[in-house]
Amino acid sequence: MAERGHGSLGVVEGMKLLGLITERDLVKAAASGADLDATPVLSYMSRDPDTFSPDFDVWEASQWLAESGYRHLPVVDNGSLLGIVSVRDLLVALVEDEE
């Protein structure tokens, strides 16, 4: 995650989203004394996260993230994870839309 600048990763089985693991989850795991090399992500991920369709409007997605306090939004189509949109992604899209 650090090497690629990602704040979260989707945990999948095939392409089906099982959960989301975030930087915060990893910090909590490390703070609890977990051996991060031996502990599966299933132990610390958020299970069954809220998901959104690829047709979801950027403004609505931004509002949802602002209200929920989440920083990452999994985008799923027909049960398959397409990607994860971050607060930063949405901010950039909104700024570019105003130009």
Is residue 69 a part of any domain in this protein?
yes
Please state, in angstroms and as integers, the Cα–Cα distance from residue 64 to each residue in 9, 91, 94, 95, following that order.
Answer: 19, 13, 14, 17
Give the global pTM.
0.80
Mean pLDDT score, 10-21: 92
Is residue 3 a part of any domain in this protein?
no
Is residue 1 a part of any domain in this protein?
no
Count of domains forming the chain: 1
Domain holding 46, by residue range, is: 8-98
- Give residue-wise pLDDT tens across range 17-63: 999 999 989 999 999 998 988 989 899 999 989 999 999 888 888 88
* pLDDT mean across residues, the chain: 89
- List the CATH number of the domain containing 22: 3.10.580.10
**What's the CA gap between 67 and 78, in Å, rounded?**
26
Is residue 76 a part of any domain in this protein?
yes
